[in-house]
Amino acid sequence: MRRLEVIDGSDPSVVGRALRVALANDGPALLPREFVDVVPLGDPSVGRTSTLPAEVPRAIALVIETSGSSGLPKRVALSADALLASAAAAEGALGGPGQWLLALPTHYIAGVQVLVRSIAAGTTPLVLGRGHFSAADFAALADRLEAPVRYTSLVPAQLARLVTAAEADAGIRRSVSRFDAVLVGGQALPAALHERALALGIAVVRTYGSSETAGGCVYDGLPIGQTLARTRGGELELSGPSLAVGYLGDEELNEAKFFTDEGVRWYRTGDAGTIEGGDASGIAGAVAGGSVTVTGRLDNVIISGGIKVSLDRVERIVQWVPGFEEAVVVGAADEVWGQVGVVVVEESALAAAGVQVGGADPLEQVRRVVADAAGRAAAPARLLVVERVSRLSSGKPDRQLIASRLQDDPH
């Protein structure tokens, strides 16, 4: 067993120093938190469902608490081998080691992995200050990167602000285009935003993964390193050396999500997906060389008028409409249809696209686009224009909070 230490995840220098020791399998296992002082070790965890143990199995080097954006938070336990295997796979997929610009919180796996990759590469990352993401500050820091090969990792909301600024400012555009790869993950990247970024010369790499896979393990649809992918019953399953040890203190969830088939350990992602092309590898039905497409969460589905509607698919369609590139679609109760989709969008985004909420109804335009692509049952029933979409500190939309506010204010 080894001691579990909660550290200040808001300070990347603290996390980096402790992580270097943990990756050498020396010292305590780490649990970085945004606010380190909320829970003494061994006491009931505030806002969580279980007690935090003082010790964990020796194999565990890092514990990441998930964002809880769509359910209760979980504590994902990762070994040093899994973290380093993920870093090695990323380095191989990107073409070699480089210097990183850290723009994500280090109590989330994507931020931690920037530190792991930097430690593995022997480079020193530059760290963007906390607070509201500023494209100008990001570009200025990017200009200070010294290594010939440069990387960064962002979520779509950050990329959207960067693209908008780069379209208006040639200096920012030059700074951002110097990156050899801009990894974008954490949630689906809107296709329209992807196209705008590529048009600016930004080397976007779409990533897919989770804390349970030690970060991104599929780049631009292709599994990296020794990652294996397959689908069963429409659900995407992943395998490889970067898989987590499991969930801390939740054996029931471990049994539901991790399993062994023909000697190969797999993780059930909970995502619907397909794999096109490639060949059966012979390893428990995995597909080698195929392109992975994630179509949405299996549990992010509503029943509207008796018809199943994937809110993830609706959201992707909505994001093609000008002004709605960063819109979020959530479900809400409805007296007539049972459940309906609600589009939540920032007022500033509509204004920038010249969309007048008080003029021609933008909801009707969105409804037509969605109905043409996915059928009338999928067309959102409501439009909610807000000053700012609620987000987690990782940059992901806080879907739980958005949905709860819709319940409190059904109109």
Q: Quick one: which H or E segment has residue 65?
A: strand 60-65
User: Across residues 389-403, what is the average pLDDT?
Assistant: 84
β partners of residue 232: 235
How high does pLDDT run on average in the chain?
89
pLDDT tens digits, one per residue of 175-212: 999 999 999 998 889 888 999 999 999 999 999 999 99
What size, in residues, is the chain? 411
User: Across residues 319-338, what is the average pLDDT?
Assistant: 90
d(CA 375, CA 282): 38
Residue 352: pLDDT band (50, 70, 90) is confident
d(CA 406, CA 411): 8
User: Across residues 166-174, what is the average pLDDT?
Assistant: 97
Q: Provide φ and ψ at 82, rounded to 5°.
A: -65, -45
User: Across residues 165-182, what is the average pLDDT?
Assistant: 97
Q: Provide φ and ψ at 121, rounded to 5°.
A: -85, -15
User: Across residues 109-115, what is the average pLDDT?
Assistant: 97
Angle, CA of 287, 293 and 297, to the nearest 5°? 115
User: What per-residue confidence (pLDDT) applies to 34?
Assistant: 81
- Residues contacting residue 392 through CB under 8 Å, at least 6 positions apart: 67, 69, 398
Report CA dihedral (109, 110, 111, 116) to the nearest 10 degrees.
80
Greater confidence (7 vs 352) lies with: 7
Q: Which domains does the chain have, with CATH numbers?
A: 2-196 (3.40.50.12780), 210-297 (2.30.38), 301-408 (3.30.300.30)
With pLDDT > 90 as the criterion, what percentage of the chain qualifies?
A: 69
SS3 of residue 42 by DSSP: coil
Residue 132: pLDDT band (50, 70, 90) is confident
User: What per-residue confidence (pLDDT) applies to 285?
Assistant: 74
Least confident of 145-159, 186-200, 273-287, 304-318: 273-287
Greater confidence (286 vs 247) lies with: 247
Angle, CA of 334, 337 and 338, to the nearest 5°? 60
Model confidence, pTM? 0.85
Quick check: 308 and 320 in contact, CB under 8 A?
no
Residue 109: pLDDT band (50, 70, 90) is very high
Exposure of 121 by Cβ count < 10 A (0-12 exposed, 13-18 middle, 19+ buried)?
Answer: buried
User: What per-residue confidence (pLDDT) applies to 345?
Assistant: 93
d(CA 315, CA 126): 34
d(CA 180, CA 116): 18
